[in-house]
Structure 1
Amino acid sequence: MPVALRVENVSKQYRIYDHPGDRLKESLTRGRWKRHREFWALRDVTFEVETGTTTGIIGPNGSGKSTLLQIVTGTLEPTHGEVHHEGRIAALLELGAGFNPEFTGIENIYLNAALLGFSKSEIEARLPEIKRFAEIGDFVEQPVKTYSSGMYVRLAFAIAVSAEPQILIVDEALAVGDAVFQHRCLRRIKEMQEGGATILFVSHDPHTIRALCTRAILFNAGRLESDGKPSDVLNRYQKIIMSRQHDYETKRLVATRADEAEELDVLDESFRPLNYTYRHGDRTAEILSVELLNAARQPVEFVETGESVMVRVRARLNAEENDPVCGFLIRDRHGIHIYGTNTEIQQSYFGRVAEGVVVEATFTFNCWLGVGEFSITAAVHSASGVSFDWVDDCLFFRVMSPVGIDGVANLNASVTTRRLALRAERESAKV
């Protein structure tokens, strides 16, 4: 497959000065008196994007994502390295980028479209569609400095997609739009995917990355850390986020002595230890087993839609902890989050738990899912959100139905039907 975008050994360095005057002092000494520190926003980044693919770019704040996209679009020069691309690029970068705040919306449409290489007649032909998609009404005749953030992104996205670019770059821009506009944008992006466009999509939302992208790239501290299937890359991303959260945690909850714990039940004979390698967390608590049970408390792999089932999670505390939280998450086969809950959400608490004690959380619900394959992810964390143990996709099950169901959920709808005639037809029938 041909390559639409090639990034080769790209690095970007910034000079950081502690005081404004240091820049002048350094220039006056022609660099002999170094007054700056070096900060590398990107380090030796290399990757290729094939034509017609959608690649998600994800990473913590400050990891270099936006810097990379500015270099790709040509608004920023790299310190080292090169970028090559085939075809027209349209980009939605930081809010308001490419807009003159003193110009009206119409004037900015002409300005941006001209920068994309369109003639005046081509812009005029696209103008009605841009205005229709943006849906900002008479504000299109007003200076954009009067726009809300949502109006900014509506107009910017409408201009970008009207250009029919070979490469579309979206950098978190959709986060400021309302839900209706976000859905419309995602539909348009899917249409562009079907039309063979190459898309780079930056987001902190794992759901969107899983839904739109066939590949994901993770950036961390200016370096490309992971590149591959979205599910694998997002798991690595979540591990980084959890690790950062733990590093910033400075206060621990007060735990109790073992002799203060209430009387414990004994593990029953159905206990089956969890044997799964992909997991992350600091292991203050460790998940021992995750089971999907039917009403008779028997493990099942096949569930009929609407059937009452239980998800049972057991975890051992490796240190004393106050009110640990157990939960689970259901995903469909595309990795989209369908449903999740935990003991805190359900307002069911363990209280003070001593080291070595095993806690058990059993969640009972009617499985009103559509027909298909689903996975269960289990987690246990502190009351303040520090991850103890997170086990991805540790259990799989299939939902079946005796009747046809379309979609990931079964809303168990009922229907009434009747036949209606227009009043004029009824009167003529009487005559």
Structure 2
Amino acid sequence: MSQSPHQQSETQSTTHTRPKPLLEIRELGKAYRRYPNELMRVASWFSAIKPLEETWILRDVNFDIAQGEAVGIVGQNGAGKSTLLKMITGTLRPTEGYIRTHGRVAAILELGMGFNGELTGRQNVLHSAGLMGFTHAQIDDAMEDIEAFAEIGDYFDQPMRVYSSGMQMRVAFSVATAFRPEVLIVDEALSVGDAYFQHKSFDRIREFQRQGTSLLIVSHDKAAIQSLCDRAILLDQGRVLEDGLPQDIMDYYNAIIAQKENAKVEITPLDSGQIQTRSGSGEASVKQISLHATNGNALDVVDVGQPVELRIEVAIHADLPELVAGYKLKDRVGQDVFGTNTWHTHQVERQLNAGETLTYCLRFNANLGPGSYSVSLSLHRSDTHLTHNYQWIDHALVFQMVNMEKDFFLGTSWVMPTIQCERKTAKSSAPNESV
């Protein structure tokens, strides 16, 4: 089967000193055009005929994915994420630009796409894997592993129309990953599965990454993006708005959402190389944040388990009906460690006047593992209908945890148990006497 010039696959070795990306996207765009009639549409394939209407879904998209790299695609509904994936997999033709893939691409897009409800799971595996280019002998060799990984029991030989959405996802993932691809594309489908299978799927994805597979994942799950991906790309209205570290992109993404509520957004590079995002209406703001020991000394290095006090000074710039203050601790890759706010602790401040200053003192034991942590802050108004953002600050404070006294442990939390072991000696039984 010949390939279109927009979708090329190259597996030959290269003499370049820098490894060739497994996926190259250049000046990619997709438009839907409306013509007066079908004849004019056909004629537009051979000559420049102006359409009645032209709607661009994607425009001027450029990025590469290297071998073994994991890239997340994030953006609001309508940003063009699904259209991008369909063009990469070849189910949609780009209007402009090109895509080059170097190796085999496997994709898990729309749940159950390509499955026939009247066929059994086994028959659908034969059909789907055949469309992926594998021979009947190759599929037969892999069938036992596919069935075992899906773990749907006797349903594997029943019509797929009786499957739940989670069972369909299990079969779809199992067949898509039965043979390690060079590029694996995963849409939101994994969010349908149960927690057990999600963990199992992510373990397989990580194993593929260790073997050199590149990953392209679309998800609104912040934890999945930050735990799996090396970088993330933010799409907005069909264009690449930002490409960077996952935690920075997710913070920026949240700020863009806040901006739609007429909030101001400020992006500031930090000395650490991270990006600080501030957003909000500005009716209240954080004047100062600091971390202290119990004797009052300021801290930027904290011992595991040490009692600390987080001080937050807030300035009120307008008369406010109420104020909720919140904080969140994140680890070095942006994963949430702990967070709460004064709405949940039943300490909402009400009827504030412009010019007032509030000082919050948060005392806790730093039962965290060694490593770098950051504090994010939020000031907002909450009620049953609306959360109004006065100010949100990511990376408002960064501090380092060290273990100077505790026994060695792994992880981001220090929850050392008391270990008790009961040991019994096996009793030997006397041999039976002969009669």
The residue identity in structure 1 corresponding to 2:323 is P
SS at match of 2:181: coil
The residue identity in structure 1 corresponding to 2:81 is K
- Picking from 192, 197, 207, the partner of 1:191 is 207
- Picking from 374, 399, 412, the partner of 2:416 is 412
The residue identity in structure 1 corresponding to 2:429 is E
Determine if contact 1:343/1:361 at 8 Å carries over to the other structure. Answer: no
Taking only aligned residues, the RMSD between alpha carbons, in angstroms, comes to 2.4
**Over residues 127-153 of structure 1, what are the superposed CA-to-partner deviations in whole Å (9 max), with x where a residue is unaligned?**
111111111111111222222111111
> How far, CA to CA, are the matches of 1:416 and 1:27 in structure 2?
80
Q: What is the deviation of 1:5? A: 0.9
Aligned position for 1:292: 291
- Picking from 216, 224, 228, the partner of 2:244 is 228
Where does 1:8-407 land on structure 2 (aligned, <5 Å)? 8-15=26-33, 26-27=36-37, 30=40, 37-246=53-262, 278-383=277-382, 384-401=386-403, 402=405, 403-407=407-411
Q: What is the deviation of 1:233? A: 2.0
> How far, CA to CA, are the matches of 2:262 and 2:164 in structure 1?
36
Structure with bigger helix share is: 1
| Structure 2 residue ranges without an equivalent (≥5) | 1-18, 44-49, 264-274
Q: Which deviates more, 107-116 or 396-405?
A: 396-405
- Picking from 18, 23, 26, the partner of 1:5 is 23
> How far, CA to CA, are the matches of 1:133 and 1:312 in structure 2?
50
**Over residues 64-115 of structure 1, what are the superposed CA-to-partner deviations in whole Å (9 max), with x where a residue is unaligned?**
0110000000111122222110111110111111212222111111111111
The residue identity in structure 1 corresponding to 2:412 is V
The residue identity in structure 2 corresponding to 1:316 is A
| Structure 1 residue ranges without an equivalent (≥5) | 17-22, 248-275
Q: How many residues align?
A: 392
Determine if contact 2:120/2:157 at 8 Å carries over to the other structure. Answer: yes
Q: What is the deviation of 1:229? A: 2.1
The verdict on how the C-alpha distance between 1:321 and 1:125 changes in structure 2, with shifts beyond 3 A counting, is same
Q: What is the deviation of 1:305? A: 2.4
Determine if contact 1:114/1:120 at 8 Å carries over to the other structure. Answer: yes
The residue identity in structure 2 corresponding to 1:381 is H
Q: What is the deviation of 1:351? A: 1.2
Identity %: 36
The verdict on how the C-alpha distance between 1:115 and 1:386 changes in structure 2, with shifts beyond 3 A counting, is same
> How far, CA to CA, are the matches of 2:391 and 2:162 in structure 1?
48
Q: TM-score, normalised by structure 1?
A: 0.85
Q: TM-score, normalised by structure 2?
A: 0.84
The verdict on how the C-alpha distance between 1:342 and 1:89 changes in structure 2, with shifts beyond 3 A counting, is same
The residue identity in structure 2 corresponding to 1:186 is F
> How far, CA to CA, are the matches of 1:126 and 1:314 in structure 2?
61
Q: What is the deviation of 1:314? A: 2.1
Q: What is the deviation of 1:406? A: 1.3
SS at match of 1:227: strand
**Over residues 255-279 of structure 1, what are the superposed CA-to-partner deviations in whole Å (9 max), with x where a residue is unaligned?**
xxxxxxxxxxxxxxxxxxxxx9642
> How far, CA to CA, are the matches of 1:97 and 1:363 in structure 2?
50
Determine if contact 1:313/1:378 at 8 Å carries over to the other structure. Answer: no
Q: What is the deviation of 1:246? A: 4.7
> How far, CA to CA, are the matches of 1:66 and 1:105 in structure 2?
26
SS at match of 2:98: strand
The verdict on how the C-alpha distance between 1:340 and 1:233 changes in structure 2, with shifts beyond 3 A counting, is same
The verdict on how the C-alpha distance between 1:426 and 1:73 changes in structure 2, with shifts beyond 3 A counting, is same
SS at match of 2:397: strand
Determine if contact 2:276/2:395 at 8 Å carries over to the other structure. Answer: no
Aligned position for 2:6: none
> How far, CA to CA, are the matches of 1:285 and 1:310 in structure 2?
22
> How far, CA to CA, are the matches of 1:283 and 1:295 in structure 2?
32
Q: Which deviates more, 315-324 or 404-413?
A: 315-324
The residue identity in structure 1 corresponding to 2:30 is K
Q: What is the deviation of 1:297? A: 4.0
Determine if contact 1:371/1:405 at 8 Å carries over to the other structure. Answer: no
> How far, CA to CA, are the matches of 1:277 and 1:109 in structure 2?
47
